[in-house]
A and B are shown apart, each in its own frame.
Chain A
Amino acid sequence: MTDAVIHILLTLLMPPLLLGIIGKTKALFAGRVGAPILQPYYDLAKLLRKGSVFSDTTTWVFQAGPVVTLAATLTASFLIPLGEHRAPLSFSGDMVLFAYLFGLARFCTTAAALDTGSSFEGMGAAREATFACLAEPALFFSLAVLARLSGSLSLTPMLTGTVATSWLNSGASILLLGGSLFIVLLVENCRVPFDDPTTHLELTMIHEVMVLDHSGPLFGVILYGAAVKLFVLGALFTDIALPYATGITLVDWGLFIVAMLMLAIGIGVVESVMARLRIVKVPQMLAAACILAAFSLLLVLR
């Protein structure tokens, strides 16, 4: 019960912190002081109080999109184990629901973008939807590997307990899987080298361009939803990358938080040292992620 409460509190409160850490890391790399680590929280608080401007083209879809996206992401967060702690809800086949909730979120975000009638946002929506078609198979290859290694059909047993032994017994396939999931993590959260979350106006944008016309509280919902998505998919990655656990509940929660912070720093480093890929290169990179995960499956089925 305590674990479930901590799980929900962490999922609700921690995500903007990751954005703050990524920003700070990038600032340090660039030799700047940068915004305070808590800046994303201030931004959200400000956006929730602001007024909004709507395009006269838009309908209810434009307003419902961000709301359903956030609801789907939060629902998915109930299914992911954080560190070595069970997820609050766990059942056979929950990984399918987990993946498909993000599908629902994508449907709503892209539909809301098209509601403005702007070519710009249409372009972003098309890219988001196209790249997802290639990221989804990589995720499901990885889930198949995890299912086979843990002998179970649910995220909690897949990601807790057995991962450490899997590292010892089939390290190569877990390594390939981790690589693939890291690419999926970056593309799904629209980070460099696939997308640049800091600018709006480049033609190579994906996520930021879709939300150009949103403002005020709805824009806050979008930013917060994106942060939660980063947190949830980040947890999926750290569960595999850092499966270490002591067995003492509170220490393990501490370990999980540290792992997430390290992941945020890692993403910040990647964003600082890499340039954004040209948009035509992105599908190739995603195909590479699929191939990594497919090889990983090949190794465990052998």
Chain B
Amino acid sequence: MDAFPAGLTEPARLVITGTLLMGASGLPGLFLKKSPTEGQLCAALLVVLGSLMGLFGALATILTEQTATYTLASTLPFGPCAIGIDPLSAFFLIPVCIVAACCAVYGTGYWPAAQHPRTAPRLSFFFGLLAASLALLPLARDGVLFLVFWEVMALAAFFALATEDWNREVRDAAKIYLVVTHIGTLALFATFSLLRTGGDSFAFPGAATLDGTGPLATAIFLTALFGCGMKAGMMPLHIWLPGAHASAPSHVSAIMSGIIIKMGIYGLVRILSFYDTVPAWWGIVLLAAGIVSSILGVAFAVGQHDLKRLLAYHSIENIGIIVMGIGVALIGRAIDMPGLVLLGMAGALLHVLNHALFKSLLFLGAGAVIHDAGTREIDRLGGLGRRMPWTAALFLTGAVAICGLPPLNGFVSEYLIYLGFFSGVVSGKGAAVPLLGLAAPALAMVGGLAVLCFVKVFGTVFLGLPRTTEAAACHEPGWAMRGPMVFLAILCAMIGLAPVALPRFLEPALFTWNPQLAFAGEGLADAAPLGWVTILGALLVLMALGIGIVIRQRLQAAPRGTTGTWDCGFARPTTRMQYTASSFAEMLVKLFAGVLRPKSHQPEVRSLFPVGGTFASHVPEAVLELVITPLLTAADRRLSLARRLQHGQLHLYILYIFVTLAILLAWAY
């Protein structure tokens, strides 16, 4: 271990060794052409091992509140590179490690190398690279290294996402993802270049060292919001997200939705931590953006009937909730209310962790269904609860958690954010108060819509009777797929039922984000009585058990019969006549028709004896199809002259490079 300098303390060493293991996990598989299964198992094992090391390192960093920074003495033109770990980075490492390990294990069952000998080694390799870059990104301590990891993450995700590259839909989604992610990266180039003005290196400034007023800070904030918002999938920058999440293999979707988009949040949180005083409008912008993102995200989700696209839109909703929390924290800093900062930021950070857990649980559950049924169409499934009781119960756990309902973890983070809203309404002052007053009902509406959406999904997929023969033939997946889901569900229940332990993990991260909070004297436990959540959660569970036992006895004491569902007197019902997901959502989609722009195709009834017809309804990706694509098509027409520059002749490209060099040289001297 002498390779590591003495300045690097123990937890950081663990984390970095772990990330190296993860990064190298796919390498053996690339050479074990003869036995792909061993290669895949080896990769999964290495990712799990690396994740465990990373997780222990991260937890140790948080519990000991250590900060370690390590500078690579490099001769790169953009200055020395710095890697470090502090509680804020460590907090983001926790979901990275948990989800990466779960997805790696799940992948061995979902995409077995025995069935996919050509793609599995490649997928394992890029998955390992992706996991490593995700774990390294929060460790970057200067702009250049941050962008390097950011780019590795983006490209590794691109290749993992495009695993099924023979499928046109997958290729299109991957292409959109690649373009959009680079537009976001471009914005971050601007952010870090602007951050450098005034300093002489790209190294990150310390927490609360910069002044947030003035045009420079405004430019940095806006470019960071654009770049990170694009990665995070905030509405309306989300256009890449639904297609990409739907097209990737399910465990890659899980890590994309659970972790990759959170790196956008991490970037935003880290950049915001540099500022000492922030103007109130930053918070207002974030809060408003969060409200828009969460309501529209969930409204679009309600209209979907592709299981994974639907979950993808819920990521947009949850990113909105996280951004709302950050907005509350910034408003609290602007109007000098440490309570708001604590509640908003704690809610946002906890929701990052919670969403990573329940969303990857849901994607893995969806994967188990898709793996067997061979379709993502919700309306072609049904009745799976009988044939896959484990998957059904686990998916239900994830569904209740994502709706923010007690007694699971989603409630705890939304509770903190709500407390932030209400404290702001009670004792806040200034222009932000009306928006905080509006945010609470908005979040309540998001909760209501999420319940609608997940009742729809759970009811249509797992309850009732199978609508097709494929759905009727589904069976429970093996333990390689079930185990990770069970683990994630247990974590969801633990955070939901015992949130009292959370301040111990959240506070160091909060204090790293804004050191002034540590001096304000107020802890998270004072601001939010999380012990009561435990008490009421326990009360709820005990009461349900008690009533359940009594009712069970009554049911056993009396005669019990079985018959078919009441069929309204109709003699020949078929399973296709069950209420579909589209019908379930129809009323709400009509209410939101102004934004969702639903399209439907229905047969026209002409004569007394109409012939057979088909009906189809569909909620398109409105921003992409109605705004971006027409815009780009118009630009394409107008700018066709410029395309002559891009002609594919290599010697002219070399000329371009030469001319650029000459201009740069002339500018430099």
Which of A's residues lie within 8 Å of B, judged by CB? 48-59, 61, 63-64, 67-68, 70-72, 74-75, 78-79, 89, 91-97, 99-101, 103-104, 106-107, 110-111, 113-123, 125-127, 129-130, 132-141, 143-144, 147-148, 151-153, 212-213, 216-218, 221, 283, 290, 293-294, 297-298, 301
Contact = CB atoms under 8 A, between A and B. Distances in A.
Given A57-B564, A119-B578, A144-B437, A75 B415 contact: no
23 contacts: A51-B560, A52-B555, A54-B563, A56-B563, A57-B465, A59-B463, A68-B544, A91-B529, A93-B415, A93-B528, A95-B422, A97-B415, A100-B406, A117-B383, A125-B459, A126-B456, A129-B451, A130-B452, A133-B448, A133-B452, A148-B425, A221-B551, A301-B434
Contacts of A127: 587
Interface stretch (B101-109, B227-235, B439-447): B439-447
Given A57-B564, A59-B386, A129-B452, A117 B465 contact: yes
A125 B566 CA distance: 16
Given A54-B560, A89-B535, A301-B433, A132 B459 contact: no
A30 to B, nearest CB: 29
A53 B561 contact: yes
Contacts of A96: 414-415, 418-419, 422
Q: Is the interface of B mostly helix, strand, loop or mixed?
A: helix
B447 A100 contact: yes
Interface string B396-408: 1000100111100
Task: Point out which of B529, B536, B560 has the most chain A C-beta atoms below 10 A from its C-beta.
Answer: B536
A176 B414 CA distance: 27
Contacts of B52: none
B532 interface: yes
A93 B422 contact: yes
Task: Point out which of A63, A64, A70, A116 has the most chain B C-beta atoms below 10 A from its C-beta.
Answer: A116
A132 B451 contact: yes
Contacts of B434: 298, 301
Contacts of A92: 419, 528-529
B465 A297 contact: no
Contacts of A133: 445, 448-449, 452, 588
A97 B561 contact: no
A67 B542 CA distance: 11
A122 B573 CA distance: 15
Given A107-B454, A153-B419, A147 B425 contact: yes
B565 A111 contact: no
Nearest to A118: B565
A191 B647 CA distance: 70
Given A125-B579, A126-B583, 20 more contacts: A54-B561, A55-B562, A56-B564, A61-B385, A91-B529, A93-B422, A100-B411, A100-B414, A110-B455, A114-B463, A116-B464, A129-B451, A129-B452, A130-B591, A140-B443, A147-B425, A153-B422, A217-B551, A298-B434, A301-B425
Interface residues of B, number: 84
Contacts of A71: 540, 543-544, 546-547
A212 B449 CA distance: 24
Nearest to A115: B463
Interface in B555-602: 555, 558-568, 575, 577-579, 583-588, 591
A52 B532 CA distance: 38
A263 B415 CA distance: 31
Contacts of B396: 61, 111
Given A51-B558, A51-B561, A107 B385 contact: no
A129 to B, nearest CB: 4
Given A71-B547, A151-B426, A301-B433, A55 B448 contact: no
B423 interface: yes
A58 B560 CA distance: 14
A-B pairs, 8 with minimum CB distance: A122-B579, A114-B459, A117-B464, A137-B441, A51-B559, A133-B448, A71-B544, A129-B452
Interface string B234-278: 000000000000000000000000000000000000000000000
B633 interface: no
Contacts of B447: 100, 103, 136
B70 interface: no
A194 to B, nearest CB: 14
B452 A147 contact: no
Contacts of B543: 71, 74-75
A104 B458 contact: no
A272 to B, nearest CB: 28
A55 to B, nearest CB: 4
B197 interface: no
B403 A103 contact: yes
Contacts of A57: 383, 464-465, 564-565
B566 A59 contact: no
Contact of A97 (B533, B548, B584): B533
Contact of B578 (A79, A122, A132): A122
B405 A140 contact: no
A154 to B, nearest CB: 9
Contacts of B389: 59
B606 interface: no
Given A75-B540, A75-B543, A107 B591 contact: no
Interface string B518-542: 0000000000110011011001100
A146 to B, nearest CB: 10
Contact of A114 (B444, B464, B544): B464
B555 A217 contact: yes
Contacts of B566: 55, 116, 118, 120, 212-213
Contacts of B591: 130, 283
A76 B653 CA distance: 70
B649 interface: no
A56 B389 CA distance: 16
A132 B427 CA distance: 29
Contact of B548 (A64, A75, A110): A64
